[in-house]
């Protein structure tokens, strides 16, 4: 994802330019790109007025709900005391026309928001290249993945493969950061795509054997099958996972080592997981003590919004950062 820091008004134009460039590069026509421009402008302007410092994250999505551009607006401002009023056209506490969030919601194919007093606001807007007339589909997964500030190559990578009975996911954190870390993660994703239907430990073994010519990294693979009620997990290194169920978090066990270079053993672990539960995978760019305890009810939000809140609250400044959030069953 591209990232734009928003601390003052001139950065609104930068967010708009980046969002439009990504839309056009992904086949949006001028009209559809214009909708993206409005959404990016409104979200960045809201941060300047009410939530600095904040940032805009811009990326693409491709899942059962469609293909398009997604924009996350994240801030640590005072939060919204009345979310319903903030989404209503004509409401303003900053002297504007008050149509910002209302316009964003109308123009977006998918819209979600989370706000807590004194903790800030997170807004997700997803836009497709053409307006869809299909009934909305609940997203199974969402993610935030950004490189270390100052780097263009992201040493983290992720992939999701949906199955008839569930899904298989991977997050890779190449050792260090920059182009060489990205090479290791890209190689791991390529191997995952060729072996994703095998058991997690078998996938991880293939990746471990195939990363010897790279600097290696931390890799975790997980699979959920609806009929079993279990998540199967296998990890080497510090890509940490957790099953979020009914307000509690069950952390997964990842064994010490570096995929491609040192792994004393590769083992699978099973964890209970219900269809409504969330599974979260985080690279080392997210603090190990991350929690959603300050955001009751957010587990029901769009997975990308959940990932954005974890990233905003717990990202470390010294590394690439990735959060992948997967719902047990979106059907």
Q: Which residues pair with 58 in a beta bridge?
A: 2, 71
Q: Identify which of 244, 269, 243 has the alpha carbon closest to the alpha carbon of residue 254.
A: 269
Q: What is the pLDDT of residues 77-103, one digit of tens each?
A: 999 887 777 787 544 444 443 368 999
Mean pLDDT confidence for 38-56: 93
pLDDT above 50 for 168:
yes
Residue 179 predicted with pLDDT over 70 = yes
- Measure Cα distances from 329 to 54, 67, 141, 163 in Å: 32, 20, 10, 11
Residues 97-117: what's their mean pLDDT? 86
Can you give the pLDDT at residue 92?
43
pLDDT averaged over every residue in the chain: 92
Residue 130 DSSP SS3: coil
DSSP assignment letter at 317: T
What mean pLDDT comes out for the span 262-272? 96
Question: What is the reported pLDDT for 89?
Answer: 58
Between 135-139, 176-180, 258-262, 291-295, the lowest mean confidence (pLDDT) is in 135-139
Q: Is there a contact between 144 and 306 (Cβ–Cβ < 8 Å)?
A: no
Look up the pTM and report it.
0.93
| Token representation of residue 135 | 């009934």
Task: Indicate whether 214 pLDDT > 90.
Answer: yes
Q: What's the mean pLDDT in 201-218?
A: 98
DSSP-based three-state secondary structure for 21: helix
pLDDT tens sequence across 247-263:
899 999 999 999 999 99
The residue with greater pLDDT, 80 or 302, is: 302
Residue whose structure tokens are 């004509």 = 90
Q: Where are the domains of the chain?
A: 2-128, 141-327
Tokens of 236: 């080497």
**Residue 237 clears pLDDT 70, i.e. is over it:** yes
Looking at residue 93, its pLDDT comes to 40
Task: Say yes or no to pLDDT of 116 above 80.
Answer: yes
> In angstroms, rounded to a whole number, what is the distance separating the alpha carbons of residues 329 and 137?
12
| Rounded Cα–Cα distance for residues 199 and 197 (Å) | 7
Average pLDDT over residues 93-115: 78
Give me the half-sphere count of Cα atoms (radius 13 Å) on the Cβ side of residue 155. 26
Dihedral through CA 197, CA 202, CA 203, CA 205, nearest 10?
-170
Task: Specify the CATH number of the domain 2-128.
Answer: 3.30.565.10
Using an 8 Å Cβ cutoff, are 19 and 36 in contact?
Answer: yes
The answer for 109, left when phi > 0, alpha when psi is -120 to 50, beta otherwise, is alpha
Supply the pLDDT for residue 136.
57
Inform me whether the pLDDT recorded for 264 exceeds 80.
yes
pLDDT higher than 70, residue 331: no
Task: Please check whether the domain covering 141-327 is classified as CATH 3.90.1210.10.
Answer: no
Q: What is the pLDDT of residue 3?
A: 95
**The pLDDT of residue 204:** 98
Average pLDDT over residues 51-57: 92
Count of other CB atoms within 10 angstroms of residue 130: 14
Mean pLDDT throughout 260-282?
A: 96
| Bridge partners of residue 163, in order along the sequence | 166
């Amino acid at each position: 994802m591209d990232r734009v820091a928003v601390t003052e008004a001139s950065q609104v134009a930068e967010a708009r330019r980046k969002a439009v460039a990504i839309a056009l590069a992904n086949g949006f026509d001028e009209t559809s790109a214009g909708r993206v421009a409005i959404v990016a402008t409104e979200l960045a302007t809201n941060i300047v007025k009410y939530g600095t410092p904040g940032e805009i994250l811009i990326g693409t999505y491709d899942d059962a709900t469609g293909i398009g551009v997604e924009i996350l607006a994240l801030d640590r401002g005072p939060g919204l005391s009345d979310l319903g009023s903030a989404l209503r056209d004509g409401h303003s506490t900053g002297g504007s026309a008050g149509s910002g969030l209302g316009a964003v919601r109308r123009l977006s194919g998918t819209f979600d928001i989370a706000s807590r007093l004194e903790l800030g606001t997170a807004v997700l807007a997803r836009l497709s290249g053409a307006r869809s007339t299909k009934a909305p589909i609940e997203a199974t997964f969402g993610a935030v993945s950004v490189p270390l500030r100052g780097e263009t190559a992201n040493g983290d990578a992720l992939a999701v493969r949906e199955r008839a009975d569930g899904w298989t996911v991977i997050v890779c954190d190449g050792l260090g950061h920059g182009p060489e870390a990205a090479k290791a993660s890209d190689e791991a994703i390529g191997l995952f795509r060729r072996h994703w239907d095998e058991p997690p430990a078998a996938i991880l073994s293939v990746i471990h054997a195939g990363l010897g010519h790279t600097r290696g990294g931390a890799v975790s693979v997980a699979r959920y099958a609806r009929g079993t009620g279990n998540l199967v997990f296998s990890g080497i290194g510090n890509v940490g996972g957790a099953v979020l169920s009914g307000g509690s978090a069950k952390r997964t066990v990842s064994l010490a080592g570096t995929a491609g270079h040192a792994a004393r053993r590769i083992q699978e672990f099973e964890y209970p997981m219900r269809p409504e539960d969330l599974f979260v995978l985080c690279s080392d760019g997210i603090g190990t003590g991350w929690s959603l305890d300050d955001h009751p009810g957010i587990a029901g939000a769009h997975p990308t919004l959940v990932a954005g809140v974890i990233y905003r609250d717990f990202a470390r400044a010294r590394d690439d950062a990735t959060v992948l959030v997967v719902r047990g069953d979106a059907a």
